[in-house]
Structure 1
Amino acid sequence: MTLAAARVLSSLTILALMTASSAVRAQEGETSEVSKMEPPKPEWVFVRGGFGSEGTSIYDTKTGKMKGMVNTSASSDMALDPTGKFYYVSETIWTKGNRGTRQDMVAVYDAIDLKLQADINIPDRLLVGERKQNFIISDDGKWGFVYNMSPASSVNVVDLTKRKFVKAIELPGCAALMPNPAVGFSALCSDGSLATVTVGGAKPVITHSAPFFSATGDPIFENFQYDKAKQQTVMMSYTGLIYTATLGATPTVAQPYSIQAAAGYAAADTKPLAVDWYPGGRQPMALHRPSGELYVLMHMGEYWSHKAAGEEIWVLDTTSRKVVRRFPLKIPAAHIEVTQGAEPMIFLNEEEGGNGIILDGKTGKEEHKIERAGGGMAYTMPAS
């Protein structure tokens, strides 16, 4: 009886203390609030959770701290508004989770408070997330282009100003989109050509360049790099050939060169069992646009090892066509991105576990390590 009475007394004491604490907080005028973010900065990096994972985390590479999270569903692609006002997500959901009525849309989120602003319904989209080139934004931020395959390949054109779907443009045999300010957008095609699509008129006009690569012999990584200031796209093949396309109504593609040759080695080839340095990873390269330096994940392997994680970072000066720095990595990396400020920072993540590493872009020195940063694609804002 004594033990039971003690327990009751203890419970009453705790209850009285909680009540008193609540009264004090009420007298102090306790309020709740929602913090707002700064406009996106060039030193921020946006990191997807990974394949099948939801959410895109925002980190400040200078501090290694998390700033916020954008609500990106598992089957989605993200694109950053070049003006820094919005984050766009092309996504597909079902009314009952994994079944029910399918809904395809472009979701619009405010960049300051991360609140949903609008859902723009579209007919369809390709159900493969984690691909930058499946959803792109025009340089002026007014148009969105969403790649689709249902079952033929096409591109949904979305007016982001009026927030409405405009039209779908059939684009047989082509994918991997890039902005083309002169006309609309361009895309890589299975015949080795570059398709250019003019979208402004009543009827779209599609033209093709001459074939310049082999989609079966030495394909091009789809995570290529677009430079708005130069209106150029830098591309890389599985063997490490670097292609530069100058965009416009009639794009031109410069003669390719080998990243291995730029580092003083023989160019890699497609011979079976030949071991060499090859580019690889889920996101194998990143371009620091102000300097023209291309950061590439490289590994020792054989041809068709293009998904292997990077053991080193090779920094290629695209003007001199020389590898100017090499950074060995402690842990192989699957994704690489670089911030666009005057002092570039490298973001890397591991495919397994999703830990993030932030390195100084000039020295390769490790500045921050972020546990479970996200195992997916990384994005950065262009420099203003």
Structure 2
Amino acid sequence: MSWVIAMGTPICGQVLPCGWLSGQAPAAASTLHVMDDALDADRVKIERGDTALRRTLRRTIEGFPAVESRRPDFTAAAGLFTIVAAIATTALAAHPQQLEQEEVTVESIPTGTKKVYLADMAASHNVDGRLYILRTDDLKFLGIVSTGLDGMIYLPHHESEIYVATTYYSKLTRGERFDLLQIYDASSLALKEEIEIPKTRAQAGSYRPLMQGSADDRFVFIQNATPATSITVVDMNAKAATAEISNDGCYGTYPAAGNPLRFSTICGDGTFGTYTLSQDGKSAERKSSTKLFDADEDALFSHAERDGQSWLFISYGGTVYRVKSEGETVELLERFPLNEGVEGSWRPGGAQPIAYHSGSGVLFVLMHSGGAEGSHKNPAEEIWAFDVRKKALLSRSPTTAATSLTVSTAETPTLFAINPIETTVTRYIADPAAEFALTETNVEKVGETVVQVEAD
């Protein structure tokens, strides 16, 4: 019986323990034969051994307790290698059988699962944006969708798909540009289809108004900026971009609730433009409203919340505007301050500063103290609950550096706030019996640069 240990072969952790023979392995041609049946059991023969091999063996054997001489007797060391050979034989004989290959399967998010979506720009490597999907009950991680470079997201009303408008380059950060509207299955998160769109898409933070859908989800509206602004119209039935409509001096889209061919845009001169599409989605007629706000004195955040057939906007100074966008032009229905009489110069701030719970008529607002011109992106210190029907401030709850906020559609409001400093999402439960004061229930680390947050 014989064993051959090839010194040029990786054996660490397999036949011999790691580090058994230290130093650089000699050439593969140098082999050590330990032979019981062909040679005397107490002899070790080195075939074609080089200086490195002898030096390695000398260091190893000198460290063995039974060897005292600095110039080891290889005959005396034969017992050591006989033991090594026996261990090797035992290890090889005990090698387990090949494991049966398991079938690879894809998990799916169960139908009816309530989810919270977090769009992460991944600013330090923003060609690799992500959409994180968590369970609303406990913030358990459910899955992730790639959103490419500065991707925008839209969650259609039918809830069976996720839409992502994004950009790719053939050489990652340069080269040929590809702009796509991607359709993902909302359960398996698998990519279903891609629609080519014009290479004019705004490469900006993921704000809700930059990508919206018509009331019947037939059309998707995507904001462009080159920096000239326009809106790409995508027909989801035809799976094609049908029009690129100019909205110079304006930004964002706000679809009508009752007319799937109509949407509006907010403009820097204090007006709103309203577009009515042709039936084929290839052209649109525009009409402008009168001046509804003063962008120089108290500009509006572009983020707005729908309440039936109207939209709720909030100004940098803390005034709520309710506008109706169902007709050919946008109308101002009412406006009222939410911070009147409150000391401390409190103002709204952040990227997504308001969240509206239509079931209770409560508007939740991210607020910071010491507000002034230019503080409209400041993170919040408190979340205010404001009754827009009674025009009353109900409660003020502490929060930590929140910049984006959303609320669930459940009967009891569940809120989710993004802290970009700690890169966390915080879950709150509002208590209707306590004027919708908030109780923190969960905090989870997520993403790097989350801007937009949405919830079922």
Partner of 1:241: 319
Partner of 1:321: 391
Farther off after superposition, 217-226 or 364-373: 364-373
2:207–2:452 contact (8 Å) kept in structure 1: no
Is 1:218 the counterpart of 2:218? The answer is: no
Partner of 1:101: 176
Distance 1:107 1:320 in 2: 42
Identical counterparts, % of pairs:
26
Distance 1:108 1:357 in 2: 28
Give the AA of the match of 1:212: L
Give the AA of the match of 2:391: R
- Measured after TM superposition, the shift of residue 12 of structure 1 is 7.2
2:304–2:311 contact (8 Å) kept in structure 1: yes
Partner of 2:335: 256
Q: Residue deviations 1:276-305, cap 9 Å, x none?
A: 001111221111122221110101023221
2:201–2:224 contact (8 Å) kept in structure 1: yes
Is 1:265 the counterpart of 2:265? The answer is: no
Residues 58, 14 of structure 1: alpha-carbon distance in 2 compared, 3 angstrom cutoff: farther
SS at structure 1 position matched to 2:351: coil
1:40–1:381 contact (8 Å) kept in structure 2: no
Residues 156, 107 of structure 1: alpha-carbon distance in 2 compared, 3 angstrom cutoff: same
Partner of 1:272: none
- Measured after TM superposition, the shift of residue 374 of structure 1 is 5.2
Q: Which runs of 5+ in 1 are unaligned?
A: 267-274
Match of 2:406 among 320, 326, 337: 337
Q: Residue deviations 1:89-133, cap 9 Å, x none?
A: 111111110110111111111111111111111112111131111
Partner of 1:145: 221
Residues 62, 174 of structure 1: alpha-carbon distance in 2 compared, 3 angstrom cutoff: same
Is 1:32 the counterpart of 2:104? The answer is: yes
Give the AA of the match of 2:265: A
1:220–1:237 contact (8 Å) kept in structure 2: yes
Partner of 1:278: 347
Partner of 1:306: 376
TM-score by length of structure 2 reads 0.74
Give the AA of the match of 1:294: L
Greater Rg by CA: 2
- Measured after TM superposition, the shift of residue 366 of structure 1 is 1.4
SS at structure 1 position matched to 2:339: helix
Q: Alignment length, in residue pairs?
A: 363
- Measured after TM superposition, the shift of residue 147 of structure 1 is 0.8
Match of 1:186 among 242, 247, 264: 264
SS at structure 1 position matched to 2:378: coil
- Measured after TM superposition, the shift of residue 8 of structure 1 is 7.4
1:349–1:374 contact (8 Å) kept in structure 2: no
Q: Which runs of 5+ in 2 are unaligned?
A: 1-59, 65-79, 432-436
Distance 2:175 2:412 in 1: 49
Give the AA of the match of 2:317: T
Residues 31, 285 of structure 1: alpha-carbon distance in 2 compared, 3 angstrom cutoff: same
Residues 96, 315 of structure 1: alpha-carbon distance in 2 compared, 3 angstrom cutoff: same
Match of 1:171 among 244, 247, 255: 247
SS at structure 1 position matched to 2:360: coil
Partner of 1:44: 115
2:397–2:438 contact (8 Å) kept in structure 1: yes
Residues 10, 338 of structure 1: alpha-carbon distance in 2 compared, 3 angstrom cutoff: farther
Give the AA of the match of 2:204: V
Partner of 2:277: 199
SS at structure 2 position matched to 1:71: strand
Partner of 1:355: 424
SS at structure 2 position matched to 1:217: helix
- Measured after TM superposition, the shift of residue 75 of structure 1 is 1.2
Give the AA of the match of 2:332: V
- Measured after TM superposition, the shift of residue 74 of structure 1 is 3.4
Match of 1:73 among 148, 167, 173: 148
- Measured after TM superposition, the shift of residue 170 of structure 1 is 1.1
Partner of 1:135: 211
Give the AA of the match of 1:164: A
Farther off after superposition, 249-258 or 94-103: 249-258
